[in-house]
Every structure is written in C-alpha cells, then in structure tokens.
Amino acid sequence: ASPHNPENYVVMPGWRDDVMGGLPGPVQDLYFTSKEDEASCNWFNLTGVDLLVCHNASYEISWFLTRYRDEFEKFLKRGGRVLCTQQAEYILSNFVETYPSLDETAPKYGGTPKVDGIKELWKQGYLTSQIDPKLLREYLAGPNGDVENTARCFYGQLALLQERGQWRMFLERCDALLAFAYCEFAGLHVHVEVAEANLAAQ
C-alpha cells in the first residue's frame, strides 16, 4: 500500500536487532489497529542502529520518509546505511534478475517461501487490517517469516559479495538506491493543463 494515502497505516511492523559478529536478536513485532494507534507508539526508534537491512528497500524508505522522516534522517546523518537484499541479489545474479522477490531469493540462502495464505487474502481484496493478526505474525515475524528470511539472505549475500569482490559495488548501489528513493519521495510536478495541450499538439 502507498504511504502517501492518508488512510493507510502500518498494521504490523517487524524487525530483529543483530550485533555484527554476535548472536542474532529475537524477532519483534507490534500490532496497530488504527493510524492513531500507530502514531501513539514510538516504535520506529533507530538509536544505536548502524545498518537497516530490507528487501526492496526503496519501498521501505518511502514509508520511512513519509511517516518517520525525523528519526530516519537522524539515523542517516550519523552515518547509518540502508542495505537492500534485492539489490544484492541483482548483483549476485550477474545483473540478470532485475527485481528478485524475497520468496525467490530466501531459499537460496537457507530460507523458505512465504506463507501463501496472506497473499491469497490480499488477492481476494482483504485489507491487511482485516487479516487475523496470528496469520500476519506468522507471515512477518514467524520462524519462516519475512524478517528471518531477510536476515538469512543478507548474511548469505554478504559472504558471497565479499568473496566475489563486489561488496563495495553493493554499498555504492545501495547509496544510489537511497538517493533515488529521495527523488521519488520528492516527486515530479506535472502541470496537467500544459501536458494536455502538448499532447494535443503532438
């Protein structure tokens, strides 16, 4: 869903705090029943975080900038980086898999395909807020959920990118992804009347 629609809100965020070289942290999640409920909880707290790892990070960044911009930019200004496992897989596929899904990527690194039931409910028109929280939690924060699968991808890709001498390229591409996410967030003003007049003239 689009973060630019004022009716939308984060129903269930999920994350894991890892210490590099240490043990992985537990998967955590929250459940919100309304936009007001989400806004009342200071869940997006990046104090002490150096890396944010996401799959399809440009989508996540669109939410960070739209809803949590102050906290996100504090993270960036002190040197925080956003890393994208989708971008890593694009590089590791020798630039063949343009938009590899987490579902396709995770099994390569010991992960599992997503829980299909949630996708089916979305296809049937259910809003995320109308889906049983237990199913959502399994999909996002369960042992085979998005959080764990993203972590498996990241650590597997990290080893391969370093082995192939592509780690620096990956970091540069993630910086470019962040810059482009800002461009998308800022948008492009289109003067509709001028555009229509130009179209008619052509």
Stated as kind and residue range, the H or E segment containing 28 is strand 27-29
Predicted confidence (pLDDT) per residue in 154-169, tens digit: 999 999 999 999 999 9
Q: Which two structure tokens, joined as six digits, stand for 176?
A: 């470019």
Q: Assign residue 167 a region: left if phi > 0, alpha if psi is -120 to 50, beta otherwise?
A: alpha
What pLDDT does residue 70 have? 97
The pairing of beta strand 81-84 with beta strand 51-54? parallel
Q: What pLDDT is attached to residue 111?
A: 95
Residue 23: its pLDDT value, please? 83
| Local confidence pLDDT in tens for the 202 residues of the chain | 899 998 999 999 999 999 977 789 999 999 999 999 998 988 999 999 999 999 999 999 999 999 999 999 999 999 999 999 999 999 999 999 999 999 999 999 999 987 678 889 999 999 999 999 999 999 999 999 999 999 999 999 999 999 999 999 999 999 999 999 999 999 888 999 999 999 999 9
